[in-house]
Amino acid sequence: MSAHHPDDDHSHLDAMTLRVRALETVLTEKGYVDPAALDELIDIYENRVGPKNGARVVARAWSDPAYRARLMENGTEAIRELGYAGRQGEHLVVVENTPGVHNMVVCTLCSCYPWPVLGLPPVWYKSAPYRSRAVNDPRGVLAEFGVELPEGTEINVWDSTSEMRYLVLPMRPEGTEGWSEEDLAALVTRDAMIGTGLPLSPEEVPA
């Protein structure tokens, strides 16, 4: 969804999100919280630190067949090898995209999310529209995110729970033979690891 996320109108925020926002407003009015600093902190964990962990996992799997095999067999343990573990990362299953299968992750009951490898969940992931439509119309949701798949591609939607969370292993982009893990990690986006996006192509990497 390049320009619009399903919850941009904020009309379907859950009760917990509304309570947090109310508390943030009170703390801001009393001068205890700097909104700009808070937004920066959230951005760090939602878009920078967390997803970089997952990108490293993906890059290692792309470049090391033995690690990929361990990752697919036991995601939790393989991810722990790289030092990523903790709350909401205890039971991680990795699902792999192939030319004929595309995987997508949702949490229909709440917003269970693999924090150790993806950081904080984005607002749209927690929204009611995404949580319902991802199951009922995954192809339509993907199209809104700008992901157009061939008609014959099978789409698997994985429903995360408090007992099991999922991470998508996207397909390695073409033209990256011989790339280092660091360079490969730069291609991995957060949305590609949720399944609502694809990795960047070599041409799309910022100079």
Confirm whether 201 is a catalytic residue: no
Confirm whether 132 is a catalytic residue: no
In a domain, 9, yes or no: no
Catalytic residue among 2, 11, 111, 132, which? Answer: 111
Q: Which residues are annotated as a binding site for Fe(3+)?
A: 107, 110-112
CA distance 143 to 188: 19
pLDDT value, residue 9: 42
Give pLDDT tens digits along the chain (207 positions). 434 444 444 444 556 556 657 766 776 777 766 677 666 556 655 555 579 999 999 999 999 999 999 999 999 999 999 988 766 657 899 999 999 999 999 999 988 898 889 988 898 999 999 999 999 999 999 999 999 999 999 999 999 998 899 999 999 999 999 999 999 999 999 999 999 999 999 999 877
- Number of domains making up the chain: 1
CA distance 37 to 152: 46
Partner residues linked to 157 by β-bridges:
104
Catalytic residue among 110, 127, 132, 201, which? Answer: 110
In a domain, 110, yes or no: yes
Domain that residue 53 falls in: 15-204
CA distance 142 to 134: 8
Catalytic residue among 63, 107, 127, 160, which? Answer: 107
Q: How many helices (H) and strands (E) does the chain have?
A: 11, 4
Q: Which residues contact 51 (CB under 8 A, 6 or more apart)?
A: 117, 118, 119, 188, 189, 190, 193
In a domain, 8, yes or no: no
pLDDT value, residue 67: 98
In a domain, 138, yes or no: yes
Q: Does residue 190 contact residue 47 with C-beta atoms inside 8 Å?
A: yes
In a domain, 4, yes or no: no
CB burial readout 134-155, b (16+ within 10 A) else e: beeebeebbebbebeeeeeeee
CA distance 56 to 67: 12
In a domain, 10, yes or no: no
Q: How many CA atoms lie within 13 A of 189 on its CB side?
A: 16
pLDDT value, residue 31: 72
In a domain, 89, yes or no: yes
Confirm whether 162 is a catalytic residue: no
Confirm whether 112 is a catalytic residue: yes
pLDDT value, residue 3: 40
CA distance 142 to 110: 20
The predicted model scores a pTM of 0.77
In a domain, 182, yes or no: yes
- 71 to 9, 33, 95, 156: CA distances (angstroms): 38, 40, 9, 19
pLDDT value, residue 119: 86
Looking up residue 187, the CATH number of its domain turns out to be 3.90.330.10
Q: Which residues are annotated as a binding site?
A: 107, 110-112
The single-letter code of the amino acid at 58 is V
pLDDT value, residue 87: 65
Query: CB 42: neighbour CB atoms within 10 A?
Result: 13
